[in-house]
A and B are shown apart, each in its own frame.
Chain A
C-alpha cells in the first residue's frame, strides 16, 4: 500500500517539479552564457541574468518548502482528503508516503541547485580549452579537502561526510514531521485552522529549542571538549547528540501526526 501511495504522490508532483528544474537549468545556462560575452565593460545583461538566476534559485527552494506543506494540507485535510482518508490504508502509511516524497524532492532540489550552479560556471567559461583546464582544477579542489582534513584532524573525511549526511537526513525528517504535526494540531481547531497551524509550528519550535538548551547534553559536551585531547572525538560526540535529538523529535512528531490523522480527523 505504501508503494502505491508513493506512486501517486510522485505522479502528482513530478510534472510541476520537472518544469521548475528545467526552468532553473535553462536560466543558469543563459546566465552563464550572458557572462561570457561582455558587450561593454559594465555587463548589464550579465548582471541582470545573474540576479534572475539567484531569484530563481530562491524561488525553487521556497516552492519546494511550500509544496511539502501543500501536499499534506491540501491532499489529506482538504477536499482530496475525502479520497485519501477513505482509502483502505493506515494513517501512518499516508504520513510516510508524504514524508518520503517530501525528502526526495528536498534532496532533488538541493542537487538541482548544485547542478545549476555547475551549469552556470560551465556556460560562463570563455573558451573550450580553458574549460578542460578548469575541470582539472575543479577536480583538484574537490579531492584536496579529504586529504587535508585527515591531515589536520586525524579524522576520516568519509566518516565525517557520512555523519553530515545522516544529520541532514534526520534533521530533514524531523523538520518535515514538525510541519505535519503543526498542520494536524491546527486541524483540531474549528476555525482559523491555518493560523493555528502556523502559531503551533513556532510555539513547538521555540519550546523545543528552549528545552534543548536546558538539556544536560550541552554542558557535558563542553566538558568533553575540555577532557578530550582528540578534537575529532568531541566533534563526533556533538554530531551524534544532534542526530539523536533529531531522531527522538522526529519520532514524536511522526507519532503525533499519525495518531491525530487516525483518531482525530474532522474533515469539513
Chain B
C-alpha cells in the first residue's frame, strides 16, 4: 500500500453561503492515532463526512488509498458518527448480524464479547436503550472491524467518565498496528494520552498538523493547554 491513506487536496465544502471547509490540504499516514481538534463548528464533522462520501465536495478532492469515496473505500473505513444513526427498531444482535453480513473485516465474536463485557443484551431493541448505551453499541460495532481507517466523530462526547476510559481502552486494544484512528473531539485532555498526532482546525482551515510529542517539546505545554491558548476566545 504505497498510496497515502487519506489525502485532501484543496478540499472545500460550502453550504449555501457558509464555508464549512476552505481549501484543506491534509495527508494522513498509517498506523497512528490522530486527534482532529477544534471548537464547535470548525469543520471536523464536515471533513469526516466528506471522507465517508456522505457529502459532495464543493471544490478539490478527498482520496482514500488514492480513490474517491465509494464502495471500495467504505469497505476499509470504519465510521462512528456523532449522532444516533442505527435503525431503532433493530435488536442489538440484528445489528451485529447486519455488520457481519456487509463487512468482510467485521468480527462478530469480538463484538459479542465486548457487548457482554458492557452487559448489553443482544435481544434488546435499540429504542429501549439509554443514549449512553446506544453510543456504546455504536462504538462496539465500529471497533469490531479490522479497518484501515477509523473515523470516530466525538466518540466520548455524551458518555460518563468511566465509560470514556473503557472506550479509549477499547480503541487502543482493537485497532490493528497498520490502521489509523482519527478521533474528532473537543475533549482534548481525555484523549491526549493516546494521541500520536494532532490536527488543529478552525473555521474550516487546518492550523497545524504535528506529532503530539513535537508540540509538547516545542511549546513546552500539553496539547490541551496549547489548544486553549490557540483557540482562546
Chain A residues with a Cβ under 8 A of chain B:
1, 4, 7-8, 11-12, 75, 79-83, 85-90, 190, 262-268
A12: which of B16, B49, B89 is its contact (CB, 8 Å)?
B89
B72 → A minimal CB distance (Å) = 7
Contact of B83 with A79 in the complex, beta carbons under 8 Å:
yes
Q: Is the interface of A mostly helix, strand, loop or mixed?
A: loop
Contact of B79 with A86 in the complex, beta carbons under 8 Å:
yes
Q: Is the interface of B mostly helix, strand, loop or mixed?
A: loop
Contact of A87 with B56 in the complex, beta carbons under 8 Å:
no
Contact of B81 with A80 in the complex, beta carbons under 8 Å:
no
Contact of A83 with B54 in the complex, beta carbons under 8 Å:
no
B30 → A minimal CB distance (Å) = 20
User: Does B74 lie at the interface of the complex (its beta carbon under 8 Å from any beta carbon of A)?
Assistant: yes
B56 CB contacts on chain A under 8 angstroms: 263-266
Contact of B72 with A88 in the complex, beta carbons under 8 Å:
yes
User: Does B40 lie at the interface of the complex (its beta carbon under 8 Å from any beta carbon of A)?
Assistant: no
Chain B residue, CB-CB nearest to A3: B101
Closest 3 CB pairs of A and B: A82-B85, A88-B75, A88-B74
CA distance A75 to B85 in the complex (A): 10
Contact status of A267 and B49, CB under 8 A, knowing A80-B85, A82-B54, A87-B102: yes
CA distance A265 to B69 in the complex (A): 12
Contact status of A1 and B102, CB under 8 A, knowing A79-B83, A190-B15: yes
With A90-B71, A262-B70 given, name 8 new contacts (CB 8 A): A1-B102, A75-B87, A83-B87, A88-B71, A88-B74, A88-B103, A264-B56, A265-B55
User: Does B174 lie at the interface of the complex (its beta carbon under 8 Å from any beta carbon of A)?
Assistant: no
CA distance A265 to B55 in the complex (A): 6
User: Does B84 lie at the interface of the complex (its beta carbon under 8 Å from any beta carbon of A)?
Assistant: yes
Query: Interface 1/0s, chain B 76-112, versus A by CB < 8 A?
Result: 0101010111110100001000100111000000000
A181 → B minimal CB distance (Å) = 18
Contact of A82 with B81 in the complex, beta carbons under 8 Å:
yes
Contact status of A79 and B85, CB under 8 A, knowing A85-B53, A263-B56, A266-B56: yes
